[in-house]
Amino acid sequence: KLGKVRALVLDEADRLLLDDGIRAHVQTIVAACTSKHLRMHMFSATIPEKVDAMAREMFRHPARVYVGVRNTPVSHVRQQLVYCGHGGQETGKMIAVKSVLRGKLEDLGGSFGGEDDTTDDRGVRSRRVFPCLIFCRSVARCQALFEQVRALFASLQSGDSAAAARRVVGLHGGMSTSARQE
């Protein structure tokens, strides 16, 4: 009974509203949510003008909330544009990802600098591995990339697949809630 719904959340709203096949379903659901107490929430990292116009039609009194400064990179996050070559094909992307994750940024035109090198109690010098998030367009690509990166980490840790499993996590919408929370 959608007429009793009090909260409606559209996550990745730009994708939901720009895709013709999904937009019609979303609009049907929104129209069926008729409670006077309904609160609609729309989330997206990007809101193109077309989506903004659609949202203004769907929402009664829309309010826009920005987190951070618009179009400004976060100061404590290092960002880098990497040209992958190979016409943007998966082979070129994986080569670039492997290079970045191995800490060989100098191959890509940058470097970490000495402060990122660490020495353990046995005197073994190594590069510190920083947290990394990789966003993929599809569940299948996320799963494939997860498996490749996990194998890469295992090879960097002398084949220790258990250590790699602890350090590399793949999350996507095709997983159950319990699997994502693990």
Enumerate the domain spans of the chain: 2-58, 78-131, 133-182
pLDDT tens digit string along 112-163? Answer: 334 455 565 666 555 555 566 777 778 888 888 888 877 777 776 665 666 6
Contact yes or no for 23/51 (Cβ under 8 A): no
pLDDT tens digit string along 89-105? Answer: 667 777 777 777 766 43
Q: How far apart are CA 10 and CA 58, in angstroms?
A: 12
Q: What is the pLDDT of residue 112?
A: 36
State which amino acid sits at residue 78.
R
Q: How far apart are CA 4 and CA 169, in angstroms?
A: 38
- Which residues is 119 bridged to in the sheet? 125
| Phi, psi for 33 (deg, rounded to 5) | -85, 95
pLDDT tens digit string along 61-87? Answer: 778 777 766 667 667 766 777 777 655
